[in-house]
Structure 1
Amino acid sequence: MKIKSLIVFLILFLFGCSNNKPKDEKLVTVQEEREYLQKYGTSLSLDEVIEIARDRNLDLRIKRLETEIASLDRKIAFGNFLPSITLGANYTKLDDPINLEMGLPSLPPLPPTLPLPPQVGGLLSKLPKSIETKLVDESFQTVGIAAQIPIFVPSTWYLYSARKKGEDISKLAESFADKMLQLQVMSEYFYILALESERETLVNNLKSSEELERKAEVSLKVEGILDWELKKVQTLVESQKISLNKNERELKIAKMKLKRTLNLNLQEDIVLEKNETKVVELPSLEECVYNSLNGNELLKIREKGKEINTDIKKIAITNFLPKIILGGGYLNNSNSTLADPDFLFGHVSGVLSIFNGFKNVNEYKKAVRREKIGELTLEKQFMTTVLEVTRAYDNVETAQEFLNMAEKNYQAEMGRLKQKSAEKRVEMIGEEEYYKALAEYNTALSLKEKAQYQYEMAYGALSIAMGNNPLRGGK
């Protein structure tokens, strides 16, 4: 009964483990997507867009699954340290029972001086020369449980160490993918805002050109200008309309790209809020380089890769060492011919490779060279990181200089627009000159906003190089 109870327990345990599967994620409908976006209101800020991207982006979800796989690989490697238990059962049916024939020794002749009675002599003459006995039943079953555990298998230690470092690499890769996703979202977000800002300039340029066209038509009626001059103005108006239509098409595609990154319905429209830019004081270049050498994910990944190559070399060394495994179990047989139908057994087995065609030697040489490749790759990544941080630092300084210049130009155009507005109120200037000033103001505003976006992107790239989030204040 104890054995049967143990068998039932093991079957239930294995069945429960086999059903421990992640639930499939159902596809989100358009209505569910709209309800999902309702909590953010009618417009989306940059923080909200990044939050949606981190929650829904398909590439990032793939990275998370890869991290889970790496964690499962580590757990699988850890299983090599634990005993493995197997349950076996067998039923055999024979067409005939198997018997064993044993020959009987012949009796020596009796001396003539000892005659036997006739009855005894007749019985002795009838004795068979051999007898049969049952060796195996016609049908029988065997049930057994076996277990084994490694006692000395050094390769499992280094395999687990390599899997653990592989899990760390997956986590670093996921963190880096998350930051690159934020930078991508920022780029697409700011590009949309730049197109919207540029549209305001194009609209005012079109109004100014249409006002000029209206005056040219009046001048042509009074023969103030020639016909070709009116056509030249009309060509200018058409070019402004083409630019505005092109801007609208580019804006539509830019929003679709952002929605693809957010894993949202491409046909649904989204409204973005403008982002305020605050210029911060940069730390010294030396401090940025120091932070990058301690926090850059790519550099950490290369370091872990070098350590994995070292573990692989140690695994190659263990191929020259013996492997010792301890095992044992219980076996029950229903064969009635056995005096003891169940018994326990144990064994210790050891294996040592003496010669396998120089495979172990060549595997070791290969591992040594892979370790050297890891060292050289790490050294290359070290220099690349320093170069990237220096370049990103210079880009931030350049973007900050352009932002300061664009801010001054914007302040000048804003003062100029105020003057033109006052002149228009007292009818010192006409609609054409006013719209022209308004278009130049919008151009200056658009350039200032684009300079802000370039500064944010440059600072975000520098932050990623130092191992930080590209969005300041982000988690």
Structure 2
Amino acid sequence: MQSFVLLAIMVFASGCFIVTDSNAQTSSGAVKHISMQEAIARALHKNNQIRANQYAVRKAGWDRKNAWSQLLPDISLNSRYTWIDDSTYVLRDFFRQNIRLFFPNIPESVEIPQTVFQTSYFSSVDISAPLFNAAILNGLFIANANVRMAEEYGTSMKDNITFQVVSSYLNVLKGLDVLKLQHDYLELSQLNYEKAERLFGAGRYSKTEALRWKVEYQQQKSQVATSRTVLHTNQSLLRRLLNMDLQEEIEIVDQIPAQIKNESDRIAILTEDALLKMVQLSDDALISANAALAAGRANEDISRLLYKNSYAAYLPQVTASYSHSWQENNTFALDDYSPKVFSINLSVPLFTGFKNLTSVKSAYYEHKKTEELFQDQLKNIRHILTEIINRLMDLRTLRELTKVEVEYNEHNYKVVAQQKERDLVSNIEFIDAKLNAQNARLNAINAEYDFISSMVELYYLLGRLGAIVE
């Protein structure tokens, strides 16, 4: 009796310490409780992949501006300074210096213009603009498709991060529920083991019965250790998704969000036809709903545009150019003589050593590869959706079964416990009843969370995850 009172005092003191320590942490602000919605918002705000995609969208936007800029003319101011050595200058200007030797009839009053200068300057303003270039025109469509793909990929990434956070959050909740249950049974096993040791010492239990309780106690300790490891792994993954610093301490709100719980209850009562109808979508409807498929479709569009663009190498190019220059002389001053030249250039490729043909073939097979990969992605998503529906139908039946099993095994455990007090059942029968009750509750927890997780995955693939987490 004294040992029992002492044990009760120790448990009460430990409980007071835990409560006091928890309150101290809360009051000091060291530990922050975070809901699922807050976790999602934090992940979307701080996740490095999300930030990287934001830069990718901006890059695609500037690439589109660059594609449009290819249609604008190029204007350049060119200036050249030239100096030649004495001997070269004499050779080049020899004819002008000695022109009267060859043409003696030229009057002395006629000044022979200088065309060669030892130090000379030349300036011009040149303008060129494309009039027709198929590669530039196709580049506009490709740039627009790249922007759309970057945006679709960003949406897909946000949906995926949200799904990972929700799944990790649910896994942590499941781990907490399992660990709490196993802790309760561990404490009960410890009390039963200590009681068995006392009864064995008093000669009322055999060594086999005492060892049986010891084995059961060690099994409970092992299960608690395993569950704690799984919980820590899931918590570590959640911390990584939330991009948490090492010094940050948070705890999740210890309950399934009501919106998710209510939706899972609604899904659980749907008929088989109603569940199947949820995933019986046309290709266009499924692609529109699923952001990953939308990004894949955008990538397929880009490959098709690149294939079409490869034919631009066969087409002519037309460019216009205009040059306003000043005669080259030995002064910086711009003289009155400034030739103006306007030209239109037509370039038609006749033979390029089969470079055009090989480029077209390469782009064609790249496009066909992208098409096949996208079709495989689409079929894979449909297969996964069908598997999820089948899983949901199995899990909802299992969930109802586990509820009945919990009710039965807990009632049976109470009956066996009462019979054990009157020595009407053996020690092994009592332990089996206890383990059956524990396993029934564990199965119920697993079935509940597995059903909810499957529903979350279904809504993620259908692009409806926001409806249950916002």
Following the alignment from structure 1 to structure 2, what is the Cα–Cα distance between the partners of residues 220 and 367?
83
Percentage of identical aligned residues = 18
Following the alignment from structure 1 to structure 2, what is the Cα–Cα distance between the partners of residues 342 and 437?
108
Where structure 2 has 5 or more consecutive residues not aligned to the other structure, the ranges are 1-28
Following the alignment from structure 2 to structure 1, what is the Cα–Cα distance between the partners of residues 278 and 212?
58
Shift of 1:408: 4.1
Moved more, 89-98 or 291-300: 89-98
Match for residue 26 of structure 1?
none
Q: In structure 1, what residue type is equivalent to 2:70? A: N
Following the alignment from structure 1 to structure 2, what is the Cα–Cα distance between the partners of residues 398 and 92?
87
Compared CA separation, residues 162 and 242, structure 1 to 2 (3 A): same
**How large is the Cα RMSD of the aligned pairs?**
3.9
Compared CA separation, residues 315 and 460, structure 1 to 2 (3 A): same
Compared CA separation, residues 441 and 68, structure 1 to 2 (3 A): farther
Query: TM-score scaled to structure 2, two decimals?
Result: 0.74
Compared CA separation, residues 61 and 360, structure 1 to 2 (3 A): same
> Which of the numbers 271, 280, 293 marks the counterpart of 1:289?
280
Following the alignment from structure 1 to structure 2, what is the Cα–Cα distance between the partners of residues 170 and 245?
45
> Which of the numbers 366, 387, 391 marks the counterpart of 2:362?
366
From the CA coordinates, give the structure whose radius of gyration is larger: 1
Following the alignment from structure 1 to structure 2, what is the Cα–Cα distance between the partners of residues 78 and 103?
56
Shift of 1:153: 0.5
Match for residue 270 of structure 1?
250
Following the alignment from structure 1 to structure 2, what is the Cα–Cα distance between the partners of residues 179 and 403?
28
Match for residue 57 of structure 2?
67
Match for residue 319 of structure 2?
325
Higher helix share: 2
Following the alignment from structure 2 to structure 1, what is the Cα–Cα distance between the partners of residues 409 and 207?
35
**1:218-246 deviations in Å (ceiling 9; x for gaps):** 22232223445434433432332233233
Are the aligned partners of 2:121 and 2:330 in contact in 1 as well (CA < 8 Å)? no
Match for residue 458 of structure 2?
462
Secondary structure, counterpart of 1:473 in structure 2:
helix
Following the alignment from structure 1 to structure 2, what is the Cα–Cα distance between the partners of residues 358 and 458?
54
Moved more, 236-245 or 433-442: 433-442
Number of residues of Structure 1 aligned to a counterpart in Structure 2 = 412
Following the alignment from structure 2 to structure 1, what is the Cα–Cα distance between the partners of residues 335 and 134?
42
Secondary structure, counterpart of 1:146 in structure 2:
strand
1:327-342 matches, cutoff 5 A? 327-332=321-326, 335-336=329-330, 339-340=335-336, 342=338
Shift of 1:378: 4.3
Are the aligned partners of 1:406 and 1:447 in contact in 2 as well (CA < 8 Å)? yes
Shift of 1:72: 2.7
Compared CA separation, residues 449 and 48, structure 1 to 2 (3 A): farther
> Which of the numbers 309, 331, 355 marks the counterpart of 1:315?
309
> Which of the numbers 145, 148, 158 marks the counterpart of 1:168?
148
**1:65-93 deviations in Å (ceiling 9; x for gaps):** 23333333322222222222334343344
Secondary structure, counterpart of 1:43 in structure 2:
strand
Match for residue 280 of structure 1?
266
Q: In structure 2, what residue type is equivalent to 1:188? A: S
Are the aligned partners of 2:135 and 2:312 in contact in 1 as well (CA < 8 Å)? yes
Shift of 1:304: 3.0
Shift of 1:439: 8.2
Compared CA separation, residues 407 and 330, structure 1 to 2 (3 A): farther
Shift of 1:55: 1.0
Secondary structure, counterpart of 1:90 in structure 2:
strand
> Which of the numbers 386, 391, 408 marks the counterpart of 2:387?
391
Following the alignment from structure 1 to structure 2, what is the Cα–Cα distance between the partners of residues 180 and 48?
16
Where structure 1 has 5 or more consecutive residues not aligned to the other structure, the ranges are 1-37, 109-126
**1:424-470 deviations in Å (ceiling 9; x for gaps):** 9xx999xx99999998777655544433322222122222322332x
